[in-house]
Amino acid sequence: MATMYVTLSLTKTHLRITDADHDADVTSKMEQAEAMIVEYLTSGRTRWEVPDLPDPTTPNGLIVQAAILDLIAGLYEHRGDDYGTFGGTEPDAKLWEAVIRKLRRFRDPAIA
């Protein structure tokens, strides 16, 4: 999947990474985060083969970009081995709450 909302440079700035030692890992996290966000926004869509997401250069696209960057930071910083150190709660829960708050207006409503 080609990343369209974030670049390696933007992501490294967001993560405060100044060297190239972790570029492969960061690129992997970029692809994973964008795939998760696209899946979240398009789950349940049965009429479209190509997701109709906000253009990355628009204000709505920048909100999607912010959510992807939040998710990248979560994937990069919490690799699953620190869940017991946050008062018994998983960092994923708070991270997804923040991501969903940004994205809920773009998600297709459920069909009953």
34 falls within a domain:
yes
112 falls within a domain:
no
pTM score, two decimals? 0.79
- Overall number of domains in the chain: 1
3 falls within a domain:
no
69 falls within a domain:
yes
The whole-angstrom separation of Cα 103 and Cα 95 is: 13
2 falls within a domain:
no
pLDDT, tens only, 20-45: 999 999 999 999 999 888 888 877 66
62 falls within a domain:
yes
The confidence band for 89, taking pLDDT boundaries of 50, 70 and 90, is: low
DSSP secondary structure of 5-55: S--HHHHHHHHT--SSTTHHHHHHHHHHHHHHHHHHHHTT--S-SS--PPP
85 falls within a domain:
yes
111 falls within a domain:
no
Q: Domain of residue 84: give its range.
A: 8-106
